Structure 1
Amino acid sequence: FLSTQPKHALRLDDVSKLYRELGFPGGRKVSRFLQRHPTIFATYHHADNKMWVGFTEFMEELLLEEKEIMNEMESDRVNKVHKLLMMSKYKRILLSKIHHCRLLFGIPDDFRDRVAKYPEFFRIVMEDDGKRILELVKWDPLLAVSAIEREFLIDEDRVKKMFKFPVKYGKDLGLQYDEMKKLNSLNTLPMVSLYSDGWQFDLWSLEAEKYRVGVVHEFLRLTLEKRASIHRIVEFKEEFSLTRQTYQMLKKQPQTFYLAGTEMNWDVFLKDAYDGDGVLIVKDPQVVFNDRL
C-alpha cells in the first residue's frame, strides 16, 4: 500500500486510520508493527510537525530492483494472462479476479494499466453492474500448447506415467498391438486439449475429468512456484469448469500432484517441479528476488 503512495510516504495518523484496510486488528498495533521492521520502515518528523512513515533506503533499493524485474518479465507475464484467457470457458475473466491472484503469477500491481499497452491481445469491457472484464482479442496458436504436450514430445514414457484414469475393459479383446496401445492411452494421458471447448463434455465423463486435470496442471505451470492453494484455484472454478470434487480428483493423481493440508484448506504442488528436498528446481527471477527478502 505504501509503495503506491506519492513519494512512498504517509502520515502516521493516516496509517493508523487505515488499520482495517491494512489488515491490522487495531490502530494501536500499527506503530508497534513498524518498530519491529526497522530495515523496511522509517518514521520521521515532517515539516508539518507530524510523524510520517516511509521506506528505508534499503527498502527503496529493493523496490527499484523488483520494478526492474517486473519490466524485464513483462512479456512472460503477458503470455501468462493470454494463456489464462485462452483456457477460460468464454475467453474472459474478471479483471479484479486476476488482480487478486496477481502474486501467484508474478503479475505486477499496475497490470490493469499495462493491459492498455496490448490492445491486439486484450480489451477491458465494462459490465452493466460496473464490473470490468478482461477479454481475449486474439487467439495465439503458438500459446495454445500445454506444458504436458511439450513434455510429451521430449519424453513420452515419463509423461504417460504421470496420470492414471482407470478404464474397465475385458482383457481378451483380440486387439492388435497398435489398437491395444491406443486403448491403454485412455487410462494415462489427459489427451483432451486444454485450449479447446472441453467444458462442453458431460460433467462426469472421463473426457471431462481429463480436461479438468489438465487445466489444473497447466494453471499450476503458469504460477511462479508451481503451486497454489485451493482458495486461489476455486476462484477460477467457473472459468475452468471445476467441480466441488477437485480435491478428490487431484488426489487420484499422486504421481503428478502433491496435496498438503486438509480437504477444506490445502495447497497443491506439481511434484516434478521440486527436487527431493522440496526445493523448486527452476526459479523465476521474481522467486529468486522473493527468497532474498
Structure 2
Amino acid sequence: MRWGSKQLFSFLKFNQIQTPTQNQQSRTLVKVRLKWVKNKSLDHIIDIHTDIKAASLLKDAIFRSSTGYLTSKSIADWQKLFGLTVPTLRFIRRYPTLFQEFPHPKYPSLPCFKLTNIALNLHNQEQLVYQNCESEIVERLCRVLMMTRDKMVSFQSLYNLKWDLGLPDDFDRNLIRKYPDCFRAVKGSNGLACLKLLKWDDEFAVSALQMGNEDVDLSVSDNGETGLRKFKRGQNGLAFPMSFPRGYGGQKKVKAWMDDFQKLPYISPYEDCRGIDPNSDLMEKRVVGVLHEFLSLTVYKKTKRNYLRSLREELILPHKFTRIFTRYPGIFYLSLKCKTTTIALREGYRRGKLVDPNPLSKLRDKFYYVMRTGLIYRNKGVDMLPQLDSLVADDGAVVNDRDESEEEEDEEVCYTDGSSEMEAASSEED
C-alpha cells in the first residue's frame, strides 16, 4: 500500500517517531537515584557564614541608624530575617567585641547596642574594599542581569542576594547614579521596582566554565553561529568539574550516566535558549550551566535555595529545578544547616577552604576573627579590643578555626523512604 504525504505525517505523529534533528534534543539520560551524602566541612562553613552574615547585617543597620545605636526592642523580631537559630538579643550579646551594650539614655531598663571602635574600623575597611573593587562589582551585577530573560531583576531579589553577591549596602542608589549607561531603575510587568541592564557587553558573556577552558572556543562566531547551532552540527561541548562524595566513584551506572551527561554540548547561560526543547537533556545541561554560573558569581560560591527560586522565571529555570542539585552531587552540594536549604558549588572549596578568596571574603575572615574572640573570651573579649584592633588593621590577619591539613569529610547519610528530610527539601516547590 502506498501512502500519501498526509497519511505518512499522521502515522509519524501518532507513533511519535522523531526526525534526526528532533532526536538530538530528546531525553536519553538514565534517571539514576542517588543517595544524599552529608559533607561536614561545607556544613561547618555554612554555619559560620550564617553568623557572619547576621553580624554584618546588624553592623550595617546600626551604622545606618540616625541615633548610632539600636534598642533591644527594635531588633527583637529580626531573628527570621537574619536566618538565626537563636533570638537576636542573645546573638548580639555573644559578640561584645563588635557590639557594645549600654542602657538607653531615657529608659535605663532598655538595653541598647552600638558599634565598638573595632567594628567601625572593619566597616571603614569594608567600604574601602567596595571602592577598590567597584569595577568587579559592576561586572558581577551585569553578568547576573545578562543571564535573565528580560535583562532585569527586581530589587527585592537583589536585596536578598546582596551579601552573597558582595554588593555594597547602597548599590541601588550609588551604582545607578554612577553608571547611568549600564543600569536603570524601571517598573516591571508585575509592578515591582527592577534594575534593568542597558548595555550588553560581549566580554562579560563568557561563563566561568568557559574561562576555565580557554582552549575551547564556544563563543559566537563571526557568522553568528551560536553554541546551539554548533550542537546541531554535532560538535561536543564542555564538561563540568566534578568531585563525587565517597562511594560514588566505583558505581559503574553512575559513571556511565555522568559520562553521557558530560558529552552533551554546553550552552552558555548568556545565550538565548528559546530554541531548545524544555523537556530535553540539552535543556537540563543548560539549567546546570545557569546554576553553575550563578553560584560562581557569588562571593562564597553558594546561596540559599529560596533566593534562586525567586529568580526562577527570570533565569528560565524549570518549576522543579531544585531536583538538579540532588541529581548532580558531583557539581552541587545541598545543605540543611541553620534551618534552611543552602546550595554550594563543590569546586569552590578544597579541604574546607574557599579555593579563590576575593578581598571581600578576606575582610569577612577578619570580621569573624573578632566575633570568635568575643565568643570565646566573653567578658575578657572587651579588654582585648586594643590588641584586636591592631591585628585587624594588619592585612595579614587570617581566621581559620579548622586544621589546614584536615581533609574534607563526607559522611554518607542515606534516606530510602519518600518522607525523608532531604527528599522533602529537594522536592518542595512553590
| TM-score exceeds 0.5 | yes
CA change 1:186–1:115 in 2 (3 A) is same
Which one-letter code corresponds to 2:349 in the other structure?
Answer: Y
CA change 1:199–1:288 in 2 (3 A) is farther
SS at match of 1:228: strand
What's the counterpart of residue 119 of structure 1?
180
1:188 and 1:88 map into 2 onto residues whose CA distance is: 26
SS at match of 1:89: coil
What's the counterpart of residue 145 of structure 2?
85
Worse overlay, 63-72 or 30-39: 30-39
Which one-letter code corresponds to 1:247 in the other structure?
Answer: T
Per-residue displacement from partner, 1:129-150 (whole Å, max 9, x unpaired)? 7521111100000001111112
CA change 1:78–1:161 in 2 (3 A) is closer
Partner of residue 323 from structure 2, selected from 248, 253, 277: 248
What's the counterpart of residue 363 of structure 2?
289
1:230 and 1:31 map into 2 onto residues whose CA distance is: 27
CA change 1:70–1:37 in 2 (3 A) is same
Partner of residue 149 from structure 1, selected from 192, 202, 210: 210
Q: Does residue 139 of structure 1 match 2:200?
A: yes
Unmatched segments (≥5 aa) in structure 2: 1-60, 82-86, 218-235, 243-258, 369-430
Query: How far does residue 115 in structure 1 lie from its aligned partner after superposition?
Result: 2.5
CA change 1:202–1:42 in 2 (3 A) is same
Q: Which has the higher contact order (CA 8 A, sep 6+)?
A: 2
Q: Does residue 37 of structure 1 match 2:95?
A: yes
Partner of residue 54 from structure 1, selected from 114, 136, 142: 114
Per-residue displacement from partner, 1:83-104 (whole Å, max 9, x unpaired)? 0110001111101211111111
What's the counterpart of residue 239 of structure 2?
160
1:248 and 1:33 map into 2 onto residues whose CA distance is: 34
CA change 1:189–1:4 in 2 (3 A) is farther
1:206 and 1:273 map into 2 onto residues whose CA distance is: 25
What's the counterpart of residue 169 of structure 2?
109
- Assess if the C-alpha contact under 8 Å between 2:238 and 2:262 holds in 1: no
- Assess if the C-alpha contact under 8 Å between 1:199 and 1:240 holds in 2: no
SS at match of 1:133: strand
1:18 and 1:291 map into 2 onto residues whose CA distance is: 25
What's the counterpart of residue 180 of structure 1?
none
SS at match of 1:269: strand
1:254 and 1:36 map into 2 onto residues whose CA distance is: 35
Larger Rg over CA atoms: 2
Worse overlay, 39-48 or 207-216: 39-48
TM-score w.r.t. structure 1 length?
0.77
Query: How far does residue 45 in structure 1 lie from its aligned partner after superposition?
Result: 6.2
- Assess if the C-alpha contact under 8 Å between 1:199 and 1:241 holds in 2: no
Q: Does residue 193 of structure 1 match 2:258?
A: no
Query: How far does residue 289 in structure 1 lie from its aligned partner after superposition?
Result: 1.6
Worse overlay, 213-222 or 41-50: 41-50
Q: Does residue 230 of structure 1 match 2:305?
A: yes
Worse overlay, 83-92 or 47-56: 47-56
TM-score w.r.t. structure 2 length?
0.54
Partner of residue 20 from structure 1, selected from 48, 69, 77: 77
